[in-house]
Amino acid sequence: MAVAAEALLGLGMGLGLYALVYHNFLKGRRCRNEILLQGKTVLLTGGNTGIGKATALDLAHRGARVILACRNKQRGESAVYDIRRESGNNEVLFMSLDLGSLRSVRAFAEAFLRSEPRLDILINNAGIGCEGQTEDGFDVTFQVNHLSHFLLTHLLLERLKRCSPSRIVVVASNAHRSGKMDFQSIHRPAEGTAQAFQSYCNSKLANILFVRELANQLEGTGVTCYAVHPGVVNTELFRHSPSWAKPLVFLVSRLFFRSPADGAQTSVFCATEEGIERLSGRYFADCRLRDPRPHARDDAAAKKLWEFSQGLLGLAS
């Protein structure tokens, strides 16, 4: 009995310590504003699960018309049903978008502009981390995480300007710390787990540099933009991990990663917080302004990435 009691006491203390550590060090800050979004339209990529779904739910609670742009129709429509039910907002819709296809991005933008008169907030949320090649011949992680979002933003920019003041939020990551801007290879398909992880880091660096140059391009238009780090979140981002690694990823993510709702807080903050317009082009984490690593604050690299992306997409400079 004494041994069992000691074991239970030890377990209780361990759980209490874990809860304390999670609440104070892992969970992160919450967006505290109560800004309402009635009459506003939000477009969010990858909103059928994880951070995107949690972000969409919060914005739906605020009264926004929320468009979930997702690849999987069944999962997208299921997310729409969940969000409508939980928020009481029926202005939540699914539209089909495959970021692994530039053809799909262009078709989506055309359909969106034809059907939706407003665009007040664009959240480039969707992300992936795996090896492979898209139908366009690019590295799948680079294209999904950066290049297709670059194109989508370009195609929707005039609508955002027309509805200004409006905002663009790009979900980046502290993984940018290990990113590199090698313009000879950054777009080429990765081979193997190590290269795929490097490609993910590169794409997150690209997200921050993209926002940095985008802010320069948007100066004076009434459209502002922000890069955000959501924290380390328990999502499906690395669902394509090797089978041998999945049990470890599952255990670690359950114990030490943020919930999607906690991970969504900085995206919601940058989409709604009043008074941050002067910080357009900057990087946020835990609902606070942060400085990314020096190589993510390189204006020359940001401009070169912009021109490089335009070239890959065949866009006029």
Q: What is the DSSP string of 38-103?
A: TT-EEEEETTTSHHHHHHHHHHHHTT-EEEEEES-HHHHHHHHHHHHHHH----EEEEE--TT-HH
3-state secondary structure of 171: strand
Residue 179 has what pLDDT?
A: 97
Which two three-digit tokens encode residue 49?
């699960």
pTM: 0.86
Q: What are the pLDDT tens digits along the chain (317 aa)?
A: 554 445 444 444 443 333 434 443 455 789 999 999 999 999 999 999 999 999 999 999 999 999 999 999 999 999 999 999 999 999 999 999 999 999 999 999 999 999 999 999 999 999 999 999 999 999 999 999 999 999 999 999 999 999 999 999 999 999 999 999 999 999 999 999 999 999 999 999 999 999 999 999 999 999 999 999 998 755 555 555 555 455 544 444 445 567 889 999 999 999 999 999 999 999 999 999 999 999 999 999 999 999 999 999 999 76
Say if strands 92-96 and 283-285 run parallel, antiparallel, or are unpaired: unpaired
Q: Catalytic residue at 200?
A: yes
- ∠ Cα 62 236 257 (to 5°): 80
Instruction: Give the residue ranges of DSSP H helices in 89-147.
Output: 102-115, 140-142
Which two three-digit tokens encode residue 304?
């070169």
Q: What is the mean pLDDT of the chain?
A: 88
Residue 24 has what pLDDT?
A: 39
Domain boundaries in the chain?
A: 31-313
- 271, 171, 300, 179: which is closest to 229 by C-alpha? 171
Length of the chain: 317
Considering only the C-alpha atoms of the chain, give the largest distance between any 2 of them, rounded to a whole number of Å: 77
Query: Could you say which DSSP state residue 235 is in?
Result: S
Residue 136 one-letter amino acid: D
88-91 contacts, C-beta under 8 A, 24 or more apart: 89/60, 89/61, 89/63, 89/64, 91/60, 91/64, 91/65, 91/66
Residue 23 has what pLDDT?
A: 40
Fold for 31-313, please state it: Rossmann fold (3.40.50)
Query: Could you say which DSSP state residue 203 is in?
Result: H
Answer yes or no: are the C-beta atoms of 75 and 49 closer than 8 Å: yes
CA distances from 256 to 15, 24, 249 (A): 13, 12, 10
Catalytic residue among 18, 22, 81, 200: 200
Rounded to 10 deg, the angle between the 148-162 and 193-218 helix axes is 20
Residue 235 has what pLDDT?
A: 57
Sheet strands side by side (includes 288-290): 92-96, 65-70, 41-45, 121-124, 166-171, 223-229, 283-285, 288-290
At 228, phi and psi to the nearest 5? -130, 145
Residue 22 one-letter amino acid: Y
Rounded to 10 deg, the angle between the 50-61 and 265-272 helix axes is 40
